[in-house]
Amino acid sequence: LSQGEKRALYLLNFIFEVEAKSKLDHETLFIIDDIADSFDYKNKHAILQYLEDVDKKPNIYQVILTHNYDFFRSTTRFVHRAKCLMANKHPDKIELRRADGVDNYFVGILKPKFGECMRALCATIPFTRNIIEYTRDEEDPAYTMLTSLLHQKEDTGTITLQNYVDVYNNTFNKNHSGSDRVLRDIIYEEADEIADKQVHTGINLEDKVVLSVAIRLKAEMYILQSLRIAMNNPGYWCDKKSQFGALLGLYEKHFSDSGHLPTLRKVSVTVSSNIHLNSFMYEPILDLSIGSLAALYKDVSSLRVA
């Protein structure tokens, strides 16, 4: 049997067991571990519907385990929020905590914390940029400015916190205040603090977004500085749309034997294409380990131009 056929047979056996146990008088607990893995969306939704039906059986109880955030979020349509828990690793234990912001992390968590938590504020940059992209276009000055906060551009080092807050206020009809501090410096400070933390609890979406943004910014700066020397062009800036990929391609061309290539390629694979907060794209960041992101940030921060 193929792996898919084995999974289907396992699922049929599970359904048989549930239906058989439901006809008995005693109570039964089923522990279900990543039952929807390897199935397409149509079948995943069918499995969810069946689990919801099982939930209504008076003598059947379920503990549903999954690594898939999308599947986890979908179970909230029949699992009470107080029973939706996420596992967090600690040095000496594994802790289960209630998962907050499951439906809409931006609306439920980031927006309310915007004016009081700098990390949450920084994590809203990709989402604000997405909203501007959808409601206006990529030529809008605000979109261009936010792109310069997610890529190293000529004006990145001049964009202040107040500059971004003004765009945010205009986009979401808010009235927050900022300062004249350079926002890139704030992003780096927040990333340093996150990377040095020993314990990470909760979904950590804002931590992962800030780390991902900081990783790409630092990686691009290292590549730009290296290329300026190799190309004998101190004023070089990349003008390509897919900037990180273009920069990495040039770096590989000029430094094909560089020992830093594995780290830069890891940036490309793990974070470069995942810095998004719209409903379709932020799951990949959630699936990334905060520990692996912190380690990658430290690796990128240690890169030095020869």
**In the structure, what pLDDT confidence band is assigned to residue 303 with cuts at 50, 70 and 90?**
very high
CB count within 10 Å of CB 145 equals 19
Would the pLDDT of 260 be above 60?
Answer: yes
Average pLDDT, the chain: 88
Burial 191-211 (b: 16+ CB within 10 A, else e): beebbeeeebebbbbbbbbbb
Write the DSSP assignment of the chain as a string of letters: --HHHHHHHHHHHHHHHHHHHHTSSS-EEEEEESTTTT--HHHHHHHHHHHHHHHT-TTEEEEEE-S-HHHHHHGGGTS-GGG-EEEEE-SS-EEEEEPPS-S-HIIIIIHHHTTT-HHHHHHTHHHHHHHHHHHS-TTSHHHHHHHHHHS--TTGGG-BHHHHHHHHHHHHT------SSBHHHHHHHHHHHHHH-S---S--HHHHHHHHHHHHHHHHHHHHHHHHHHTT-TT-----SSHHHHHHHHHHHH-TT-TTHHHHHHHIIIIIT----STTTSHHHHHS-HHHHHHHHHHHHT----
Highest mean pLDDT among 101-110, 185-194, 237-246, 266-275: 185-194
Q: Which residue type does 266 have?
A: K
Whether residue 45 has pLDDT greater than 80:
yes
Tokens 């986009």 locate to 171
Instruction: Say what the pLDDT of residue 101 is.
Output: 66
**Would you state the pLDDT for residue 279?**
47
* Euclidean distance between CA atoms 139 and 249, whole angstroms: 26
Instruction: Write the pLDDT tens digit of every residue in 197-232.
Output: 876 766 678 898 999 999 999 999 999 999 999 999
Q: Is the pLDDT of residue 137 over 50?
A: yes
pLDDT of residue 276: 66
Q: Could you report the per-residue pLDDT of 47-103, keeping only the tens digit for each?
A: 899 999 999 998 999 999 988 777 887 888 888 888 888 887 777 788 888 877 666
pLDDT greater than 60 at residue 284: no
* pLDDT recorded at residue 183: 98
> Looking at beta carbons, which pairs linking 261-268 to residues 24 or more positions away fall under 8 Å?
263/219, 263/296, 263/299, 263/300, 263/303, 264/219, 264/222, 264/223, 266/296, 266/299, 267/215, 267/216, 267/219, 267/296, 267/300, 268/244
In this structure, are residues 27 and 21 in contact, taking their beta carbons and an 8 Å threshold?
no
Band (280; pLDDT cuts 50, 70, 90): very low
| Least confidently predicted of 8-12, 26-30, 121-125, 233-237 | 8-12
Average pLDDT over residues 117-146: 92
